[in-house]
Amino acid sequence: MLAALRQYFDLLGFETVLGDNSKGEPDIIASLPSASWKYVLAIEAKTKEKGEEEPVGSVTQVMGDAGVIQRKTNSQVLPVLVTQKDIFSPKAVEVAKQKVRMLSASVLVAVMDQTLKSIEAWGNLTASGKPQFVDSILSHYEVKRLFMPADNAVATLEDVKQIVVNK
């Protein structure tokens, strides 16, 4: 999962590094080299299949990891939890509100698929159609909405559809 996440964020133009778990860092730290984007993503990936739902401990871990990155940078850090599980414990959802954005792998795959479909479609366009097409591709600015903390801490497929529709 970490390799796929890094490749996707690299494709969007982020610089990604693997965090140092021994220093309390998240699994992936993603930032843009441009000074116009003031956020750093602190991504914690959970791939273990224990239990049916993601526990609150995963949320508190990514919050702590994001705090470590926040102290090292002047950027706003967005804590993101990505998990193979589709169910989050009620306590995890409550603690994550306005602090952590949580995504199941299936939601992130939907975002990745949308980006890859756009890239594939590019090759089939005539030169005159390409400038308008560029405006339709999901950029890091649109995708950012998935990673911003919200009252609804769990990002859904509907959130992905809204980003694509409002493009």
Integer CA distances (angstroms), 149 to 3, 112, 146, 156, in order: 24, 20, 8, 13
Per DSSP bridges, beta strands 76-83 and 101-104 are parallel
Domain range annotation of the chain = 2-165
Which amino acid is located at 71 in the chain?
Answer: R
pLDDT at 73: 84
pLDDT at 101: 95
The two tokens of residue 14 are 């982020």
CA dihedral 158, 160, 164, 167 (to 10 degrees): 100
pLDDT at 26: 94
What is the pTM for the complete model shown? 0.84
pLDDT at 123: 73
pLDDT in tens, the chain (167 residues): 899 899 888 888 888 999 998 999 999 999 887 766 688 999 999 987 777 899 999 999 999 999 999 998 878 899 999 999 999 999 999 999 999 999 998 888 888 887 777 777 777 777 776 666 666 666 677 777 888 899 999 999 888 878 766 55
pLDDT at 16: 92
Cα separation, 6 vs 25, whole angstroms = 16
Topology classification of domain 2-165: Trna Endonuclease; Chain: A, domain 1 (3.40.1350)
Q: Are 9 and 45 in contact (CB under 8 A)?
A: no
Cα separation, 6 vs 54, whole angstroms = 22
